[in-house]
Amino acid sequence: MNRFPWDEAMRFGLGVLRLPPREFWGMTPRELAAAFEALNGKRAVPPGRDALDELMRRFPDG
């Protein structure tokens, strides 16, 4: 199970957005993610296993 990245969320919400603590802690993770995407765009999704296997087949190491 992935843990929520609280340290990064607090740095972004309190540091970058400069939200007062009351407003930051009143946000949902979805609202915080929307604010992040508004400033930085959507995060790239890592390739799935099939895509990774295909890349490894096409470009083998050594």
What is the DSSP track for 39-59?
HH-PPPPPPPHHHHHHHHHHS
Query: Angle 27-32-36 (CA atoms, 0-180°, nearest 5)?
Result: 160
Instruction: Give the pLDDT confidence score for residue 35 in this predicted structure.
Output: 94
Task: Kindly give the confidence (pLDDT) of every residue in the chain, 62 residues in length, as a single tens digit, with 9 standing for 90 and above.
Answer: 778 889 999 999 999 999 999 999 999 999 998 999 998 888 778 888 998 899 899 999 87
C-alpha span between 23 and 25 (Å, rounded): 6
Instruction: Give the pLDDT confidence score for residue 32 in this predicted structure.
Output: 93
Question: pTM for the complete prediction?
Answer: 0.61
Instruction: Give the pLDDT confidence score for residue 49 in this predicted structure.
Output: 92
C-alpha span between 41 and 47 (Å, rounded): 18
